[in-house]
Amino acid sequence: MQIYYSIFFFLIGCVLASFYGVVATRFSEGKSITGRSKCNHCQHTLSWKELIPIVSFLIEKGRCRYCNKPLPVYEPIIELISGCCFSFAYLHYGFCYELWVFLLLISLAELIFISDFRYMIILDSPLLFSALFLFVLKWISFGFSEALWSLVDGLALFLIFLFIGYIGSILFKREALGGGDIKLAFVMGEALSIPYALMALVLSTFLALPYATFSLFSSEEREVPFGPFLVSALCIVFLFIDKFETILNLFSF
Ligand SMILES: [Zn+2]
Protein backbone atom coordinates (compact mmCIF):
# COMPACT_ATOMS: atom_id res chain seq x y z
CA MET A 1 0.00 0.00 0.00
CA GLN A 2 2.89 2.34 0.85
CA ILE A 3 4.19 2.23 -2.74
CA TYR A 4 0.77 3.31 -4.12
CA TYR A 5 0.61 6.20 -1.67
CA SER A 6 4.18 7.29 -2.57
CA ILE A 7 3.24 7.30 -6.28
CA PHE A 8 0.03 9.17 -5.44
CA PHE A 9 1.95 11.85 -3.51
CA PHE A 10 4.53 12.05 -6.32
CA LEU A 11 1.78 12.74 -8.89
CA ILE A 12 0.05 15.27 -6.61
CA GLY A 13 3.42 17.04 -6.13
CA CYS A 14 3.97 17.23 -9.92
CA VAL A 15 0.44 18.52 -10.64
CA LEU A 16 0.53 21.08 -7.82
CA ALA A 17 3.96 22.36 -8.95
CA SER A 18 2.50 22.96 -12.39
CA PHE A 19 -0.46 24.81 -10.80
CA TYR A 20 1.83 26.84 -8.50
CA GLY A 21 3.89 27.85 -11.55
CA VAL A 22 0.77 29.30 -13.17
CA VAL A 23 -0.37 31.00 -9.92
CA ALA A 24 3.05 32.53 -9.16
CA THR A 25 3.56 33.79 -12.73
CA ARG A 26 0.07 35.17 -13.35
CA PHE A 27 -0.38 36.81 -9.92
CA SER A 28 3.10 38.35 -10.05
CA GLU A 29 2.28 39.81 -13.48
CA GLY A 30 -1.08 41.06 -12.16
CA LYS A 31 -3.07 38.71 -14.40
CA SER A 32 -6.13 36.62 -13.54
CA ILE A 33 -5.83 32.94 -12.63
CA THR A 34 -8.72 32.02 -14.93
CA GLY A 35 -8.15 31.50 -18.66
CA ARG A 36 -6.22 28.87 -20.57
CA SER A 37 -2.41 28.61 -20.59
CA LYS A 38 -0.63 29.83 -23.72
CA CYS A 39 2.78 29.38 -25.31
CA ASN A 40 5.03 32.26 -24.15
CA HIS A 41 6.34 32.77 -27.70
CA CYS A 42 3.43 32.36 -30.16
CA GLN A 43 0.55 32.78 -27.65
CA HIS A 44 -1.11 29.60 -28.98
CA THR A 45 -3.64 28.26 -26.44
CA LEU A 46 -2.36 24.96 -25.06
CA SER A 47 -4.60 21.90 -24.94
CA TRP A 48 -4.75 19.57 -21.91
CA LYS A 49 -2.38 17.17 -23.72
CA GLU A 50 0.30 19.89 -23.72
CA LEU A 51 -0.17 20.64 -20.01
CA ILE A 52 0.55 17.23 -18.45
CA PRO A 53 3.41 17.80 -15.99
CA ILE A 54 6.81 16.42 -17.20
CA VAL A 55 5.13 14.06 -19.76
CA SER A 56 4.12 16.83 -22.21
CA PHE A 57 7.63 18.31 -22.11
CA LEU A 58 9.17 14.93 -22.96
CA ILE A 59 6.64 14.12 -25.73
CA GLU A 60 7.11 17.56 -27.36
CA LYS A 61 10.91 17.18 -26.91
CA GLY A 62 11.06 20.49 -25.02
CA ARG A 63 9.68 22.58 -27.91
CA CYS A 64 6.35 24.26 -28.69
CA ARG A 65 4.37 22.20 -31.20
CA TYR A 66 3.26 25.31 -33.11
CA CYS A 67 6.25 27.68 -33.22
CA ASN A 68 9.03 25.16 -32.38
CA LYS A 69 10.56 27.58 -29.83
CA PRO A 70 12.10 25.97 -26.71
CA LEU A 71 9.81 25.54 -23.68
CA PRO A 72 11.16 26.64 -20.26
CA VAL A 73 13.24 23.71 -18.99
CA TYR A 74 12.93 24.72 -15.34
CA GLU A 75 9.20 23.86 -15.32
CA PRO A 76 9.54 20.04 -15.64
CA ILE A 77 12.56 20.17 -13.29
CA ILE A 78 10.50 21.96 -10.59
CA GLU A 79 7.61 19.51 -11.18
CA LEU A 80 9.97 16.54 -10.78
CA ILE A 81 11.58 17.96 -7.62
CA SER A 82 8.12 18.76 -6.21
CA GLY A 83 6.89 15.22 -6.92
CA CYS A 84 9.97 13.75 -5.20
CA CYS A 85 9.57 16.08 -2.18
CA PHE A 86 5.87 15.18 -1.77
CA SER A 87 6.64 11.47 -2.03
CA PHE A 88 9.57 11.81 0.40
CA ALA A 89 7.37 13.73 2.87
CA TYR A 90 4.83 10.89 2.92
CA LEU A 91 7.53 8.22 3.33
CA HIS A 92 9.27 10.24 6.08
CA TYR A 93 6.24 11.25 8.16
CA GLY A 94 3.36 8.94 7.22
CA PHE A 95 -0.13 10.35 7.81
CA CYS A 96 0.25 12.81 10.68
CA TYR A 97 0.21 16.54 11.53
CA GLU A 98 3.84 17.02 10.40
CA LEU A 99 3.10 15.63 6.92
CA TRP A 100 0.45 18.30 6.15
CA VAL A 101 2.62 21.10 7.55
CA PHE A 102 5.63 19.94 5.52
CA LEU A 103 3.55 19.67 2.31
CA LEU A 104 2.30 23.21 2.92
CA LEU A 105 5.87 24.47 3.46
CA ILE A 106 7.10 22.79 0.25
CA SER A 107 4.18 24.36 -1.63
CA LEU A 108 4.96 27.79 -0.18
CA ALA A 109 8.64 27.32 -1.06
CA GLU A 110 7.78 26.55 -4.71
CA LEU A 111 5.60 29.65 -5.02
CA ILE A 112 8.18 31.91 -3.35
CA PHE A 113 11.08 30.53 -5.43
CA ILE A 114 9.23 31.40 -8.66
CA SER A 115 7.74 34.76 -7.64
CA ASP A 116 10.71 36.12 -5.67
CA PHE A 117 13.54 35.01 -8.00
CA ARG A 118 11.67 36.05 -11.17
CA TYR A 119 9.66 39.08 -10.02
CA MET A 120 11.16 40.05 -6.62
CA ILE A 121 7.68 39.61 -5.09
CA ILE A 122 6.31 37.41 -2.31
CA LEU A 123 2.59 37.14 -2.98
CA ASP A 124 0.16 37.90 -0.14
CA SER A 125 -2.45 35.25 -0.99
CA PRO A 126 -0.21 32.14 -0.44
CA LEU A 127 1.02 33.64 2.87
CA LEU A 128 -2.54 34.31 4.03
CA PHE A 129 -3.63 30.83 2.98
CA SER A 130 -0.63 29.26 4.80
CA ALA A 131 -1.31 31.22 8.01
CA LEU A 132 -4.98 30.13 7.99
CA PHE A 133 -4.14 26.52 7.05
CA LEU A 134 -1.61 26.23 9.90
CA PHE A 135 -4.04 27.76 12.40
CA VAL A 136 -6.91 25.41 11.47
CA LEU A 137 -4.60 22.36 11.32
CA LYS A 138 -3.16 23.14 14.77
CA TRP A 139 -6.67 23.70 16.13
CA ILE A 140 -7.88 20.32 14.79
CA SER A 141 -4.73 18.47 15.92
CA PHE A 142 -3.93 20.06 19.30
CA GLY A 143 -6.87 22.24 20.34
CA PHE A 144 -7.77 25.92 20.20
CA SER A 145 -5.33 27.26 22.82
CA GLU A 146 -2.32 25.67 21.01
CA ALA A 147 -3.55 27.21 17.76
CA LEU A 148 -3.86 30.58 19.47
CA TRP A 149 -0.30 30.32 20.86
CA SER A 150 1.01 29.59 17.36
CA LEU A 151 -0.54 32.91 16.26
CA VAL A 152 1.27 34.64 19.14
CA ASP A 153 4.56 33.07 17.92
CA GLY A 154 3.78 34.26 14.40
CA LEU A 155 3.03 37.79 15.58
CA ALA A 156 6.17 37.89 17.75
CA LEU A 157 8.42 36.86 14.84
CA PHE A 158 6.63 39.32 12.57
CA LEU A 159 7.47 42.12 15.04
CA ILE A 160 11.08 40.89 15.40
CA PHE A 161 11.50 41.01 11.59
CA LEU A 162 9.86 44.44 11.48
CA PHE A 163 12.39 45.66 14.06
CA ILE A 164 15.35 44.05 12.20
CA GLY A 165 14.11 45.62 8.96
CA TYR A 166 13.83 49.05 10.64
CA ILE A 167 17.34 48.86 12.14
CA GLY A 168 18.70 47.55 8.81
CA SER A 169 17.14 50.41 6.86
CA ILE A 170 18.81 52.93 9.22
CA LEU A 171 22.22 51.19 9.02
CA PHE A 172 22.25 50.56 5.24
CA LYS A 173 20.10 53.56 4.29
CA ARG A 174 17.87 51.39 2.09
CA GLU A 175 15.20 48.70 2.55
CA ALA A 176 16.95 45.82 4.37
CA LEU A 177 14.00 43.39 4.57
CA GLY A 178 11.15 43.42 2.06
CA GLY A 179 7.50 43.59 3.15
CA GLY A 180 7.00 40.03 1.85
CA ASP A 181 9.89 38.73 4.00
CA ILE A 182 8.34 40.34 7.09
CA LYS A 183 4.93 38.79 6.33
CA LEU A 184 6.63 35.42 5.71
CA ALA A 185 8.06 35.71 9.24
CA PHE A 186 4.51 35.35 10.59
CA VAL A 187 4.15 31.94 8.90
CA MET A 188 7.65 30.95 10.09
CA GLY A 189 6.79 31.75 13.71
CA GLU A 190 3.46 29.95 13.41
CA ALA A 191 5.00 26.79 11.91
CA LEU A 192 8.12 26.54 14.08
CA SER A 193 7.61 28.55 17.32
CA ILE A 194 10.00 31.38 18.21
CA PRO A 195 13.31 29.62 19.15
CA TYR A 196 13.31 27.42 16.03
CA ALA A 197 12.10 30.24 13.79
CA LEU A 198 15.05 32.37 14.98
CA MET A 199 17.40 29.47 14.15
CA ALA A 200 15.81 29.36 10.68
CA LEU A 201 16.51 33.10 10.33
CA VAL A 202 20.20 32.55 11.18
CA LEU A 203 20.37 29.57 8.79
CA SER A 204 18.75 31.60 5.98
CA THR A 205 21.51 34.22 6.14
CA PHE A 206 24.12 31.45 5.71
CA LEU A 207 22.13 30.00 2.78
CA ALA A 208 21.84 33.43 1.13
CA LEU A 209 25.52 34.32 1.60
CA PRO A 210 26.97 32.51 -1.48
CA TYR A 211 24.21 33.88 -3.74
CA ALA A 212 24.56 37.41 -2.33
CA THR A 213 28.35 37.33 -2.75
CA PHE A 214 27.99 36.00 -6.30
CA SER A 215 25.41 38.62 -7.33
CA LEU A 216 27.50 41.41 -5.74
CA PHE A 217 30.50 40.64 -7.95
CA SER A 218 28.77 39.41 -11.10
CA SER A 219 26.06 41.85 -12.13
CA GLU A 220 24.68 45.37 -11.90
CA GLU A 221 21.60 44.15 -10.01
CA ARG A 222 22.51 44.13 -6.32
CA GLU A 223 19.14 43.40 -4.79
CA VAL A 224 19.01 39.83 -3.48
CA PRO A 225 15.63 38.09 -3.04
CA PHE A 226 15.70 36.86 0.56
CA GLY A 227 12.37 34.98 0.53
CA PRO A 228 13.67 31.77 -1.14
CA PHE A 229 16.42 31.45 1.49
CA LEU A 230 14.03 32.15 4.38
CA VAL A 231 11.52 29.55 3.20
CA SER A 232 14.31 27.00 2.47
CA ALA A 233 15.64 27.47 6.02
CA LEU A 234 12.07 27.08 7.32
CA CYS A 235 11.72 23.72 5.51
CA ILE A 236 15.17 22.52 6.66
CA VAL A 237 14.58 23.41 10.34
CA PHE A 238 11.11 21.81 10.25
CA LEU A 239 12.48 18.61 8.68
CA PHE A 240 15.47 18.31 11.06
CA ILE A 241 13.72 19.77 14.13
CA ASP A 242 15.15 17.09 16.46
CA LYS A 243 18.72 18.02 15.41
CA PHE A 244 17.97 21.70 15.96
CA GLU A 245 16.48 20.82 19.35
CA THR A 246 19.85 19.31 20.31
CA ILE A 247 21.60 22.54 19.27
CA LEU A 248 19.01 24.59 21.19
CA ASN A 249 19.58 22.51 24.34
CA LEU A 250 23.30 23.38 24.20
CA PHE A 251 22.38 27.05 24.69
CA SER A 252 19.75 26.58 27.39
CA PHE A 253 20.73 26.28 31.01
ZN1 LIG B 1 4.63 28.48 -29.42
Considering the domain architecture, whether residues 189 and 220 belong to the same structural domain is answered as: yes
216 or 240, which is more confident: 240
Tell me which of 116-120, 144-148, 218-222 is least confident: 218-222
Considering the domain architecture, whether residues 199 and 91 belong to the same structural domain is answered as: no
Instruction: Read off the pLDDT of each residue in 198-211 and give the average, rounded to a whole number.
Output: 93
Considering the domain architecture, whether residues 82 and 141 belong to the same structural domain is answered as: no
pLDDT, residue 129, reads: 96
Contact yes or no for 5/90 (Cβ under 8 A): yes
Considering the domain architecture, whether residues 70 and 126 belong to the same structural domain is answered as: no
22 CA from centroid of ligand 1 (Å): 17
Considering the domain architecture, whether residues 245 and 142 belong to the same structural domain is answered as: yes
52 or 139, which is more confident: 139
Domain final residue pick, 34, 67, 95: 95
Structural domain span for residue 89: 1-95
Instruction: Read off the pLDDT of each residue in 65-84 and give the average, rounded to a whole number.
Output: 90
60 CA from centroid of ligand 1 (Å): 11
Considering the domain architecture, whether residues 150 and 246 belong to the same structural domain is answered as: yes
Considering the domain architecture, whether residues 155 and 219 belong to the same structural domain is answered as: yes
pTM over 0.85: yes
Domain final residue pick, 60, 95, 130: 95
Considering the domain architecture, whether residues 56 and 25 belong to the same structural domain is answered as: yes
Domain final residue pick, 42, 71, 95: 95
74 CA from centroid of ligand 1 (Å): 17
61 CA from centroid of ligand 1 (Å): 13
102 CA from centroid of ligand 1 (Å): 36
What's the one-letter identity of residue 159?
L
pLDDT, residue 248, reads: 86
Considering the domain architecture, whether residues 119 and 232 belong to the same structural domain is answered as: yes
Instruction: Read off the pLDDT of each residue in 179-199 and give the average, rounded to a whole number.
Output: 94
pLDDT, residue 71, reads: 86
Instruction: Report residue 85's pLDDT band, with 50, 70 and 90 as the boundaries.
Output: very high
70 CA from centroid of ligand 1 (Å): 8
41 CA from centroid of ligand 1 (Å): 5
Considering the domain architecture, whether residues 231 and 144 belong to the same structural domain is answered as: yes
Considering the domain architecture, whether residues 210 and 85 belong to the same structural domain is answered as: no
Considering the domain architecture, whether residues 86 and 133 belong to the same structural domain is answered as: no
Count of structural domains within the chain? 2
224 CA from centroid of ligand 1 (Å): 32
pLDDT above 90: residue 242: yes
